[in-house]
Chains A and B, each alone.
Chain A
Amino acid sequence: MTRTYLDFEKPIAELESKIEDLKSLGDGESSVSIEDEVKQLELKAKSALEQIYSGLSPWQKTQVARHPERPHCKDYIDALIEDFVPLAGDRYYSEDRAIMGGVGRFRGRSVVVIGNEKGDDTESRLDRNFGMARPEGYRKAVRLMKMADKFGMPVITLVDTAGAYPGIGAEERGQAEAIARSIDCCLEVSVPLVSVVIGEGGSGGAVAIATANRVLMLEHSIYTVASPEAAASILWRDSSRAQDAATNMKITAQDLFQFGIIDVIVTEPLGGAHRDKSAIMQIMGNMVERALREFDGLPGEDIKQARHEKFLEIGRSL
């Protein structure tokens, strides 16, 4: 599979294509000099990657967060959840494919998993509405969270959406109310809730399922009050100034950790989660497990109260 390179990854793209060329040259007869050359280049590529990824700007992070090869909710579920049973529908109107949900076993515990799924080719993207949920998606999330509460199952949510879908039907069926109820439900359940922003955490559509006891963010993911494009069109009335919005709005995991808005930064493999999918699955799994362990043995009421306190505290001690 050919890798998609982002514009700022040009030096890496050049090095890696050179390596490929040399490797195919060396395929016939194994020449020592070519092998050496390849090794040299690989080292160079690695250090270039290190250098670029250690200093990503907020806008570059936005691009990484939206990288077409970045692992999505479905990938994490496949890798981390055993005996997964997907559950569909809000019981009122329809199923919303933009939000996945179901029950399964995560490292020995039965859990409820809810997450935004963007899809990874044209067909699945359309099917998933690019990860932008309608009211049904949030109402399904509420249904599943209540079920988790009933059976004492922790809830893991995986956030990856540009935002809730702005459409006629969505408004007609009460998009705002659906999001409000979902936030309300997040705050009401007595089981631990752990959220991970795996790509884009966009606005109300994200916080609807990310009002959690612990909010984790992947190193190169973003979490925003409005997508950089939307913010730019509000602030400058020009969505092409998204880059400025991204820079000014403090949307990176590092900034938000500083502000106390998120709890944990999950370190990504060198060059981003998409460069080593199995590694990120392992790392993320470990961090989620650690977060869940913190609530082992705590009474449900305490878990809920802790969540309330945590949110009330945000911004109070800056």
Chain B
Amino acid sequence: MNWINSVVRPKIRGLLQKRDVPENLWIKCPETGQMVFHKDVEANQFVIPGSDYHMRMSAQLRLASFFDEGKFEKLDHVEVPLDPLKFRDERRYTDRLKDAKTKTSLDDAVIAGVGSLEGQDVIAAVQDFGFMGGSLGMAAGEMIIASMLEAVKRETPYILFAASGGARMQEGMFSLMQMPRTTVAVQRLREAKLPYMVVLTHPTTGGVTASYAMLGDVHLAEPGALICFAGPRVIEQTIREKLPDGFQRAEYLMEHGMVDAVVHRHQLRETLSRLSSLFMERRELKRRVQVRKTPQKKLPEQPVAAKMKVVTDNPAPSEEEKKSGDTGEKPVNPTTIPLEKAAAE
């Protein structure tokens, strides 16, 4: 590159970037061809009013629309070695990365946040398809791992919004290694008995589907999402046949037993919140039993509390009551069980 490129290019890029007005104020529904005003789509969580077509959503907006009042604490990006292969195809991988970063204002394809979902603490991670096709490289893998381990540390449910074109070719085998690596983190969640819920969004393919995205306790999918291992193009090339309509779509996967439910984007929060509170109820009960040991500590107000009123509203048991062990429904004196052990039961 000569000097003129390094001077002129960033300027051009800057000019292009300033246009934060959407290029096209009108969006054409890919399904019906209907023209919709951009603002209307945005206000509708990027679901096209009328046709209910679910458009892709940026990771940032996804997290904001997922957590209560759009508030969440973003987990720090994990630094990884950049471009270990010194890869270039038509362009250098480092240049592609730079472009993706400017385009999305993200560090890589995965971001994660801690926040509350209808009052419950949860961690959610999102893959942004806009960042090099949501491809799974070292940075994305580390973020998945870090956020899962954070959920283990905080004892919260973990929710993943998957979207990916698959492995990041430019990182070669380091990309493939993210499949076992993220699976290790999934096992940590499992050992900690924390719920892991996956929302498969359009499209989720390749190595992502073939590892952590298919290992959830619950698999939800957005309507019409393409979910597969091998993409339709690859299969068509192999078998030289046209594929049937609806093949590898969310509804098809549900029919074939790979997805628990196809859930409209507007219902996702409610569904995930309900699942979380159901899965966490027993753990929550045990935690409350623990907290009773230190009654001066006030419990945060949570919706599940309503169901557990009997427990929380009871006055702290006297020492004798504790010793006789008849305070809870369990024969073992709950106050003597360390938290980890109680949780592992």
Contacts and interface: CB of A to CB of B under 8 A. Distances in A.
Interface of A: 164, 166-168, 170-177, 179-181, 183-184, 186-188, 203-204, 207-208, 211, 223-226, 230-231, 234-236, 244, 248-251, 256, 259, 261, 308, 311-312, 314-315, 318
A174 B183 contact: no
5 contacts: A171-B248, A179-B229, A181-B214, A187-B184, A314-B177
Nearest to B236: A166
- With a 10 A CB-CB cut-off, give which of A176, A177, A188, A236 has the most chain B CB atoms: A176
Contacts of A251: 172-173
A208 B248 CA distance: 21
- With a 10 A CB-CB cut-off, give which of A174, A234, A250 has the most chain B CB atoms: A234
- With a 10 A CB-CB cut-off, give which of A177, A187, A235 has the most chain B CB atoms: A177
B176 A225 contact: yes
Interface string B170-211: 111111110111011011000000000000000000110111
- With a 10 A CB-CB cut-off, give which of A183, A224, A225 has the most chain B CB atoms: A225
A204 B215 CA distance: 15
Interface string B272-304: 000000000000000000000000000000000
Contact of A184 (B84, B138, B187, B247): B187
Contacts of B239: 167-168
A318 B213 CA distance: 27
B167 interface: yes
Contacts of A186: 180
Interface residues of B, number: 50
A102 B320 CA distance: 60
A145 to B, nearest CB: 14
A139 to B, nearest CB: 13
A contact face: mostly helix, strand, loop, or mixed: helix
A170 B239 CA distance: 12
A174 B257 contact: yes
Contacts of B342: none
Contacts of B26: none
Contacts of B67: none
Nearest to A249: B172
A183 B183 contact: yes
Contacts of B214: 174, 176-177, 180-181
Contact of A315 (B138, B187, B215): B138
B308 interface: no
Contact of B169 (A171, A204, A231): A231
B258 A224 contact: no
Nearest to B257: A174
Contacts of A181: 214-215
Contacts of B186: 184
Contact of A171 (B171, B179, B229): B229
B37 interface: no
Given A308-B187, A311-B180, A315-B81, A172 B173 contact: no
B173 A248 contact: no
Contact of A172 (B171, B213, B256): B256
Given A164-B229, A168-B235, A188-B187, 15 more contacts: A171-B228, A171-B248, A174-B256, A175-B230, A176-B228, A177-B209, A179-B229, A184-B187, A187-B184, A235-B170, A251-B172, A261-B177, A308-B184, A311-B177, A312-B181
Interface of B: 80-81, 84-85, 87-90, 138, 145, 167, 169-177, 179-181, 183-184, 186-187, 206-207, 209-215, 227-230, 234-235, 238-239, 243, 247-248, 256-258
Contacts of B180: 183, 186-187, 207, 211, 311
Contacts of A225: 167, 169, 171-173, 175-176, 207
Contact of B211 (A164, A180, A248): A180
A184 B183 contact: yes
A187 B183 contact: yes
Contacts of A208: 210
B230 A171 contact: yes
A234 B215 CA distance: 26
B174 A207 contact: no
Contacts of A224: 172-173, 176
A174 B255 CA distance: 11
Contact of A261 (B81, B170, B173, B228): B173
B83 to A, nearest CB: 10
Given A204-B229, A207-B180, A259-B174, A248 B81 contact: no
Contacts of A236: 89-90
A248 B215 contact: no
A176 B210 contact: yes
A235 B238 contact: no
A230 B234 contact: yes
B99 to A, nearest CB: 16
A180 B162 CA distance: 15
Contact of B184 (A203, A226, A249, A311): A311
A232 to B, nearest CB: 9
A211 B81 CA distance: 22
Contact of B234 (A166, A173, A223): A166
B253 to A, nearest CB: 8
Contact of B87 (A174, A203, A248): A248
B45 to A, nearest CB: 27
Given A167-B239, A168-B235, A235-B89, A315 B177 contact: yes
B100 to A, nearest CB: 15
Given A171-B248, A174-B256, A312-B145, A183 B173 contact: no
Nearest to B233: A233
Contact of B89 (A170, A177, A248): A248
A315 B80 CA distance: 8
Given A171-B248, A236-B89, A236-B90, A311 B181 contact: yes
Contacts of A230: 234
A170 B256 CA distance: 12
Nearest to B184: A308
Contacts of B235: 166-168, 171
